[in-house]
């Protein structure tokens, strides 16, 4: 089955700095890579996603890059703000539609 590794497990940055979270996956058939943000006590919410036919996608301060050859994808957050503090999960979905494998999560803390 699919295996997703996520690093780092914790990340602390100063407000205004950039944050990068990386994930690797094992199944070359995976073709959809969403990123979810989960604030304390709240539900996971999709913040950005990318499909395997695209190398990069941006949405304001958030971007995701995908390297299919190396089987890794990364989340980039620029100009971080305290409200970006949360747990971020990457996920990979493949041939078995509906089944996503999540990374273990990254706790991001943005210090004002």
Partner 1 sequence: DTEVTQTPKHLVMGMTNKKSLKCEQHMGHRAMYWYKQKAKKPPELMFVYSYEKLSINESVPSRFSPECPNSSLLNLHLHALQPEDSALYLCASSPVRGRLNTEAFFGQGTRLTVV
**Least Å distance between CB 35 and partner 1?**
10
Q: 16 or 54, CB closer to partner 1? A: 54
Between CA 9 and CA 88 the distance in angstroms is 9
- Nearer to partner 1 among residue 54 and residue 95 (C-beta): 95
Q: Which of residues 36-95 bind partner 1 (CB under 8 A)?
A: 36, 42-46, 49, 89, 93-95
Count of residues interacting with partner 1 (CB under 8 A): 23
Q: Shortest distance, CB of residue 65 to partner 1, whole angstroms?
A: 18
CA separation (Å) from 23 to 36, 81, 83?
A: 13, 22, 22
Q: 70: which 2 tokens?
A: 């190396």
* Cβ–Cβ under 8 Å, residues 17 and 108: no
CB of 16 to partner 1, least distance (A): 27
Task: Find out whether 71 and 52 touch, Cβ atoms under 8 Å.
Answer: no
Q: Give the position of tokens 């941006």.
A: 58
Contact positions vs partner 1 (CB under 8 A): 31-32, 34, 36, 42-46, 49, 89, 93-100, 102-105
């Amino acid at each position: 089955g699919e295996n997703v590794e996520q690093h780092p497990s914790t990340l602390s940055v100063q407000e205004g700095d950039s944050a990068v979270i990386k994930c690797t996956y094992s199944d070359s058939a995976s073709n959809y890579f969403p990123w979810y943000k989960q604030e304390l006590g709240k539900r996971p919410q999709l913040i950005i996603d990318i499909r395997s036919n695209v190398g990069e996608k941006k949405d304001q301060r958030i971007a995701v890059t995908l390297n299919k050859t190396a089987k890794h994808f990364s989340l980039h957050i620029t100009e971080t703000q305290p409200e970006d503090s949360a747990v971020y999960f990457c996920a990979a979905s493949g041939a078995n539609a509906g089944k996503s494998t999540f990374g273990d999560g990254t706790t991001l803390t943005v210090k004002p």
